[in-house]
């Protein structure tokens, strides 16, 4: 196969969970492309180092590496121009940059403390130890459990932080308008990450964002919904 | 002139200050269109009621009213398609919806408590009284001065709330890519509103958002910078 994708997994090689890898998974599906999945774990740095990266996703196209989810999306857009567009034109590509920052900061950054101590449950021992040590350092030495202890109130603030997205979805079905594109996949990647690794309930059922997530879980023949995860 | 724009002003009819009217002003300039300015004040509801609106901007095109800044932007895009695009294609138009929500919630909503008690200084007595009464009701009866009392700490939180935008501007010169379009004008409108009515310093000089604002102040031969306002 001409496309291969290194994807973050834990004990279950068929359970990819990285929010960034899910952005790429959805982008590939949108383009009607299939890639061979190359399961990758936190401690397998040496497997991707030859491709010039310490992190996934790493896409190999005819064995040429493309690194970083944003770079991969623009690469797919430029190299498969006859397939459905990921951005809907140059204006959309430029504005998707801000959606990408929203996805990184508000979505991934906002969800992280709400699910962080659930993540090691999905990892083999060596990966769990690596994850705990590296992430606890990021939180100034707090244990993952301490970080997550306030999540019942933290999730209320998280939901509030989604207001910009919520107001948008009251005006149109997707962030990208009447049909989804990469802007939606950026944000959805974070929700799918949470769904795979944690049973914690992020959204209330009457939230327009909940309905939007449902539609993306169903997209591409239910690709995200049928991937192993928790009920959300 | 075939285009006329009702714009919010106070005592000085040549000092338009509404963030939404500034979105439209910049959009018109981007399209290379000029509109006759029809100064409008808070208490002049009867002047625009026949056009089906209680708020400005109201654009008249051959005396046909177009109401609401977003609707006006899409109207200009559709009716002047041979002029420079405000969105850069359908993807950009759709994603600008989320930028519009960001502009409303994070920018206008975030700036409002930081400058609210400065606004009546720009208004004649009847308008100032209307503004104070209607806005104090929105803040649960707090005086405008009470709302604004915490602005020295409030502005720190406001700057933090701009992180999504800041990270975007570290990657590209404008929210719309290499050149500005309506996404930028949406957000800029809020900053220009603040600049016109208040001397309060919203941004630090080393913030990438400060540099971005400078460029938009200079756009269209310095249209926004030469409009009366405070040093920012």
B105 with B12, same domain: the answer is no
Q: Give domain status of residue B231, yes or no.
A: no
* Chain A interface, best mutation among B85, B98, B160, B178, by max A CB count within 10 A: B98
pLDDT, tens digit (0-9, with 9 covering 90-100), for A64-81: 999 999 999 999 999 999
Average of per-residue pLDDT across A49-54: 97
Check pLDDT > 90 for residue A232.
Answer: no
Cβ contact (<8 Å) for A88 and B90?
yes
Interface test with A, best of B91, B160, B183 (most A CBs within 10 A): B91
Q: Does B198 touch chain A (CB under 8 A)?
A: no
Together in a domain, B150 and B176:
yes
Evaluate whether residue B174 is within a structural domain.
yes
Q: What is the pLDDT of residues B42-76, one digit of tens each?
A: 999 999 999 999 999 999 999 999 999 999 999 99
CA–CA distance, A35 with A157 (Å, rounded to integer): 37
**B50, B79, B108 — which closes off a domain?**
B79
| CB nearest A95 (choices: B101, B176, B178) | B176
CATH number for the domain harbouring residue B35: 3.40.30.10
Element (H, E) at B94: helix B90-102
Residue with tokens 């309905």: A211
**In the block, residue with structure tokens 């800041």:** B166
- Judging by beta carbons within 10 Å of its beta carbon (0-12, 13-18, 19+), is residue B92 exposed, middle or buried? buried
Question: How far is residue B164's CA from residue B106's CA, in Å, rounded to a whole number?
Answer: 11
Kindly tell me if the per-residue pLDDT of B128 is higher than 80. yes
Tell me: do B56 and B168 sit in the same domain: no
Supply the pLDDT for residue A231: 87
Is B177 within 8 Å of A94 when comparing Cβ atoms?
A: yes
Q: CA-to-CA distance for B33 and B22, rounded, in angstroms? A: 14
Asked whether residue B44 is assigned to any structural domain, the reply reads: yes
Give residue B20's domain range: 3-79
Confirm whether B232 is domain-assigned.
no
DSSP letters, B158-189, are HHHHTHHHHHHHTTSSBTTBSS--HHHHHHHH
**Contact residues, chain B, for A93 at CB < 8 Å:** 91, 177
Pairwise pLDDT comparison (B98 vs A1), residue with the higher score: B98
In a shared domain, residues B104 and B57: no
Number of domains in chain A: 1
Q: Please give the Cα distance from B232 to B214 (Å, whole number).
A: 9
Is B84 inside any structural domain?
no
- A1 band by pLDDT with thresholds 50, 70 and 90: low
Q: A146-187 pLDDT, tens per residue?
A: 999 999 999 999 999 999 999 999 999 999 999 999 999 999
Asked whether B94 and A177 are in contact (CB, 8 A), the reply is yes
Residues 6 or more apart whose CB falls under 8 angstroms from that of B224 comprise B22, B25, B26, B188, B192, B195, B216, B217
Q: Check whether A36 has a pLDDT greater than 80.
A: yes
Do B113 and B30 lie in a common domain? no
- Work out the pLDDT band at B232, boundaries 50, 70, 90: confident
Q: Percent of chain A having pLDDT more than 70?
A: 100
A102 contact B CB<8A: yes
**Interchain contact, A163 vs B105, CB within 8 Å:** yes
Q: How far is CA B75 from CA A212, B1, B50, B189, in A?
A: 27, 18, 20, 18
What is the pLDDT at residue B1? 60
Q: Is residue B85 part of a domain?
A: no
C-alpha B186/C-alpha A217 separation (Å) is: 32
A193 pLDDT more than 90: yes
| Domain shared by B173 and B127, yes or no | yes
Buried b (16+ CB within 10 A) or exposed e, B43-75: ebeeebeebebebbbbbbbeeebbbbbbebbbb
Is B158 inside any structural domain? yes
Which ranges constitute the DSSP H helices of chain A?
A: 19-30, 45-48, 69-79, 90-102, 109-115, 125-138, 144-148, 151-161, 163-169, 182-197, 208-226
User: Of B79, B107, B142, which one is at a domain's C-terminal end?
Assistant: B79
Q: How many beta carbons lie within 10 A of that of residue B221, not counting itself?
A: 8
- pLDDT recorded at residue A77: 98
Does B26 map to a domain?
yes
Give me the CATH number covering residue B179: 1.20.1050.10
**CATH code of the domain in which A86 resides:** 1.20.1050.130
d(CA B68, CA A162): 24
Instruction: Express each pLDDT in B13-23 by its tens digit.
Output: 999 999 999 99
HEC per residue, A192-207 = HHHHHHCCCCCCCCCC
* B58 and B11 in a common domain: yes
Final residue belonging to a domain, choices B32, B59, B79: B79
A81 in B contact zone (CB under 8 Å)? no
Each residue's pLDDT tens digit, B140-173: 999 999 999 999 999 999 999 999 999 999 999 9
pLDDT above 90 (res A189)? yes
């Amino acid at each position: 196969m001409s496309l291969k994708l290194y994807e973050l997994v834990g004990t279950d090689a068929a359970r990819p969970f990285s929010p960034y890898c899910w952005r790429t998974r959805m982008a590939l599906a949108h383009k009607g492309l299939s890639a061979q999945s190359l399961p990758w774990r936190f401690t397998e740095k040496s497997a991707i180092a030859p491709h010039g990266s310490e992190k996934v996703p790493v896409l190999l196209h005819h064995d040429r590496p493309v690194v970083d989810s944003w770079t991969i999306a623009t690469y797919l857009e430029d190299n498969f121009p006859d397939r459905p567009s990921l951005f809907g034109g140059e204006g959309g590509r430029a504005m998707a940059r801000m959606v990408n920052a929203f996805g990184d900061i508000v979505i991934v950054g906002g969800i992280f403390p709400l699910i962080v101590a659930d993540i090691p449950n999905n990892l083999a021992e060596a990966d769990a130890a690596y994850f705990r040590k590296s992430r606890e350092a990021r939180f100034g030495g707090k244990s993952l459990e301490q970080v997550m202890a306030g999540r019942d109130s933290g999730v209320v603030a998280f939901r509030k932080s989604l207001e910009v997205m919520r107001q948008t979805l009251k005006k149109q079905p997707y962030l990208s308008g009447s049909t989804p594109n990469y802007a939606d996949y950026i944000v959805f990647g974070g929700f799918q990450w949470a769904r795979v690794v944690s049973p914690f309930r992020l959204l209330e059922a009457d939230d327009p964002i909940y309905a939007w997530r449902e539609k993306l879980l169903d997209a591409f023949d239910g690709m995200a919904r049928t991937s192993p995860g928790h009920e959300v």
